[in-house]
Structure 1
Amino acid sequence: MTTTGSSSRKQQQEAMGMSCCEERERPRKSCAPVHANAGFAAGVLFALLVYFLVRQQTAISAATTAALAQWSTVKQLIRAPGETQLIKAPGEILVTSDVHRVADKQPIQDTDNGKVVCTTEDRSRGLSGTCEVEGDIRTNGTALSVSLVPASWSERHEWMISPYTRSGQSLRVVTVTQLQDRAAAPPCTVTHTMPAILFGIGGYVGNYWHEYADILVPLFVAARRYHGEVTFLVSNIQHMPRWLVKYRALLQGLSKYGVVDMDRDAYVRCFPRVSVGLRLDKDLSIVPELVPGARLTMADFTRFVRETYALPRGAVTMEPYKKPRLLLIQRATSRQFLNEPEIARAAEAAGFEVVVTELRHDGSEVEQARVVNSFDVVLGVHGAGLTNAVHLPPGGVLIQVVPYGKMEPMARFDFSEPATDMGLKYLDYSVSAEESSLLEKLGPDHPAIKDPDSIHRSGWTTMYQFYLMQNVRINTTRFAPTLEQAFNHLRKQ
């Protein structure tokens, strides 16, 4: 929805009149001819005076307009690419920007009023709204605001936008305003010649799946069209300052410039375009038709990650006399494999070289990506660890073990289509009641075993307590066909 408005100021003109001549000694003689001649002469003189003034004013106006245009052109050409503004941010990031100082007063140019396009219909899906702002834009970190400055009088409009993709999170909202008058705009202290993307760290950040699904993939979609010529304005950094350190390489791969800590930014920054919030069209994936500027896919994102992290394998290749490698992810707490050695032996019997590991979320992201990239298959119980599929070479396989309790829709939503969009083969294996630790813990008559639908109707918290806190003991005979499918797929590569 785009909302704009304008109004004009009326100018009033005053008319000047002439008084009638006085009567002479001969009252019967009319004075009309004298009045006509005097009026005509005065009218001619007045017209000449107006003509002279208009010509002079036109010349002054033309000269002023030309001077302003020349000043504006010179101002745009004068850049200080080596001059940067250093801002200390939490953690280990020193943020910079392509900024240069400008005068507080800038010439008013006859351009359109810019535009604000805000989308809020995604709130029905639990997603936050976003705004695209174009024109003369001022950002204020202290107020966490983005203001569009009109070139002429306009209507005032305001939107409140969460900088995090999912709604209902406790982040400070961004106030996006279309100002009514230039007089209401704060003067620029720093100006940027490039666009900006404003987003927040918070919500579910700390969960590996959400870090990719909620921020990194949407940020890639929003930023890739600018080829690095974009500034990131980040709010709520104090929520998890190490996030900027962990994903520094990916951020630098999308922007040639450091991030700006909006919560500590004391400047009023001017931009030609600002995207407020990140748009999430598909969890852990991309809808190519909805990408602004250029068509992108999830395969483009994983290629970007591989290039940024310098991962060696860009495709799965089956070398003669060499077994494909399978990474079995073991979880530290819930949803553990209770018979991990038996599963590993079954995978080896299927033809794989097997490595069992517990991937640490607080470890080096680059090193973890390189480890995963050396494998052909990732196998694990539903959880954030399966997000490591983004590091598998195309043509690889993701095997998701789905916990008992009719969890297939959620599990497949999180990983099935995303893995396929990455160019991977997706397989899943649904755990039976006999393979779940819930059967021994609760007994066969418990609703969680007999009637999973009733647990789902009880809400997310109850469902989580039962079905996402279980462990699994895989029946390897029943699991063998899934392993065979994975091996056969790789053999065809």
Structure 2
Amino acid sequence: MPAILFGIGGYVGNYWHEYADILVPLFVAARRYHGEVTFLVSNIQHMPRWLVKYRALLQGLSKYGVVDMDRDAYVRCFPRVSVGLRLDKDLSIVPELVPGARLTMADFTRFVRETYALPRGAVTMEPYKKPRLLLIPATRLEHRSRTGAGGPPHHGRLYAVRARDLRAPTRSSDHGAVQEAAAAVDPAGVVVTELRHDGSEVEQARVVNSFDVVLGVHGAGLTNAVHLPPGGVLIQVVPYGKMEPMARFDFSEPATDMGLKYLDYSVSAEESSLLEKLGPDHPAIKDPDSIHRSGWTTMYQFYLMQNVRINTTRFAPTLEQAFNHLRKQ
């Protein structure tokens, strides 16, 4: 029986990295063995809850218990050992490079749905059914490096405001404004709900799977798209500051590879908390390129920690694209 040796470390604790750096590459490495493989795991003490959180997925790939390489006292012999995990594409799979079989990112999300017993394997929009949109809130619970480098972080809050309220001093989070904008686009009505982070991984996956659209600011929380049924929509709100290349790299192709419709909405300076905080003449507003040239830390401090206040009138066409896609399913 072969074995796969890998470590839990680095950015584990960040939801995007847990999938992009470990779970997807592990699926690629292990799937060809049909469960007849042993996982040799190091650095478990770094994040012991990780094995509990993803126990079902690990058991779906291996019929045998995980071996803690830092505490195991036995001498173990294997005919073949794969050392480390290979990542060919962030949060996705390159089918031509999969050893032993041709796998795609759609195969991975299907594996997750089957393992978690998620009921929806496709989006189907009956005439009487209202589209369901899930807002992904920011969370401060994910592990980050001190510089914030290495993948999608979590950001400030996402606020939805009507155009007439854009410069209002109050910033209370209100998904009712998104509900109003969505209803204007689709008079039949739209169900808008905010995802809560107080359940288990399986419980959260089942909630996400019951929705048709996931919407959130660029960040690790958008990784929840792996639980959407194929044919669903991922809408990424891109913070102000010429962040489109990075944001799309992390989620655009992966979402498409999952069988989802990907859309993004780029925030204007007027929709960013930076304008009020720094003023219109600050380089972060007038010259984002200069901030990028200053290095990751400066860019992170300005552009990845801003609050976003969406002008729902400006945002409505993006929602309309999403709902038009759903109507075709």
| Same fold flag (TM > 0.5) | yes
Question: 1 CA distance for matches of 2:27 and 2:169?
Answer: 32
Contact residue 182 and residue 319 of structure 2 kept, 8 A: no
Question: 1 CA distance for matches of 2:328 and 2:46?
Answer: 46
Match of 1:235 in 2: 42
Question: 2 CA distance for matches of 1:232 and 1:321?
Answer: 47
Contact residue 328 and residue 355 of structure 1 kept, 8 A: no
* Residue deviations 1:446-467 (CA, integer Å, cap 9, x gap): 0100111111111111111111
* Residue deviations 1:251-298 (CA, integer Å, cap 9, x gap): 000000110000001111110000111000000000000000000000
Change in 2 beyond 3 A, CA 1:338/1:437: farther
Question: 1 CA distance for matches of 2:66 and 2:268?
Answer: 48
Alpha-carbon offset, residue 356 of structure 1: 5.0
* Residue deviations 1:380-403 (CA, integer Å, cap 9, x gap): 111111101100000000011100
Contact residue 6 and residue 85 of structure 2 kept, 8 A: yes
Which secondary structure does the structure 2 equivalent of 1:463 belong to? Answer: helix
Change in 2 beyond 3 A, CA 1:473/1:283: same
Which secondary structure does the structure 2 equivalent of 1:429 belong to? Answer: strand
Structure 1 residue ranges without an equivalent (≥5)? 1-193
Alpha-carbon offset, residue 359 of structure 1: 3.8
* Residue deviations 1:289-325 (CA, integer Å, cap 9, x gap): 0000000000000000000000000000011221111
Change in 2 beyond 3 A, CA 1:260/1:396: same
Say whether 1:347 aligns with 2:185. Answer: yes
Alpha-carbon offset, residue 347 of structure 1: 6.4
Which secondary structure does the structure 2 equivalent of 1:339 belong to? Answer: helix
Question: 2 CA distance for matches of 1:253 and 1:384?
Answer: 24
The structure whose RCO (Cα within 8 Å, separation 6+) is larger is 2
* Residue deviations 1:404-449 (CA, integer Å, cap 9, x gap): 0000000000000000000000000000001101000000010100
Change in 2 beyond 3 A, CA 1:441/1:342: farther
Change in 2 beyond 3 A, CA 1:372/1:347: farther
Change in 2 beyond 3 A, CA 1:327/1:359: closer
Contact residue 337 and residue 474 of structure 1 kept, 8 A: no
Match of 2:15 in 1: 208
Question: 1 CA distance for matches of 2:92 and 2:59?
Answer: 21
Alpha-carbon offset, residue 348 of structure 1: 6.0
Say whether 1:461 aligns with 2:268. Answer: no
Change in 2 beyond 3 A, CA 1:422/1:365: same
Change in 2 beyond 3 A, CA 1:289/1:407: same
Change in 2 beyond 3 A, CA 1:390/1:413: same
Say whether 1:276 aligns with 2:112. Answer: no
Alpha-carbon offset, residue 366 of structure 1: 0.4
Alpha-carbon offset, residue 475 of structure 1: 1.3
Q: Which one has the largest radius of gyration?
A: 1
Change in 2 beyond 3 A, CA 1:207/1:332: farther
Question: 2 CA distance for matches of 1:334 and 1:235?
Answer: 48
Question: 1 CA distance for matches of 2:288 and 2:175?
Answer: 22
Normalising by structure 2, we get a TM-score of 0.85
* Structure 1 counterpart of 2:122, from 308, 315, 324: 315
Alpha-carbon offset, residue 339 of structure 1: 6.1
Contact residue 175 and residue 192 of structure 2 kept, 8 A: no
Contact residue 394 and residue 424 of structure 1 kept, 8 A: yes
Which secondary structure does the structure 2 equivalent of 1:269 belong to? Answer: coil
Question: 2 CA distance for matches of 1:197 and 1:363?
Answer: 30
Change in 2 beyond 3 A, CA 1:402/1:416: same
Contact residue 177 and residue 312 of structure 2 kept, 8 A: no
Which secondary structure does the structure 1 equivalent of 2:215 belong to? Answer: strand
When structure 1 is superposed on structure 2, of 427-436 and 334-343 the one drifting more is: 334-343
Change in 2 beyond 3 A, CA 1:337/1:384: farther
Alpha-carbon offset, residue 373 of structure 1: 0.4
Which secondary structure does the structure 1 equivalent of 2:108 belong to? Answer: helix
Change in 2 beyond 3 A, CA 1:341/1:485: closer
Question: 2 CA distance for matches of 1:490 and 1:224?
Answer: 32
Contact residue 3 and residue 38 of structure 2 kept, 8 A: yes
Question: 1 CA distance for matches of 2:270 and 2:169?
Answer: 20
When structure 1 is superposed on structure 2, of 469-478 and 247-256 the one drifting more is: 469-478
Change in 2 beyond 3 A, CA 1:268/1:303: same
Which secondary structure does the structure 2 equivalent of 1:400 belong to? Answer: strand
Change in 2 beyond 3 A, CA 1:215/1:253: same
Alpha-carbon offset, residue 363 of structure 1: 3.1
Structure 2 residue ranges without an equivalent (≥5)? 137-166
- 1:125-274 equivalence runs, <5 A: 194-274=1-81
Change in 2 beyond 3 A, CA 1:343/1:484: closer
Change in 2 beyond 3 A, CA 1:491/1:339: closer
Question: 2 CA distance for matches of 1:332 and 1:325?
Answer: 29
Which secondary structure does the structure 2 equivalent of 1:338 belong to? Answer: helix
Which secondary structure does the structure 2 equivalent of 1:349 belong to? Answer: coil
Change in 2 beyond 3 A, CA 1:233/1:358: farther
* Residue deviations 1:212-260 (CA, integer Å, cap 9, x gap): 0010000000000000000000000001100000000000000001100
Question: 1 CA distance for matches of 2:91 and 2:306?
Answer: 25
Aligned-residue CA RMSD (Å): 2.9
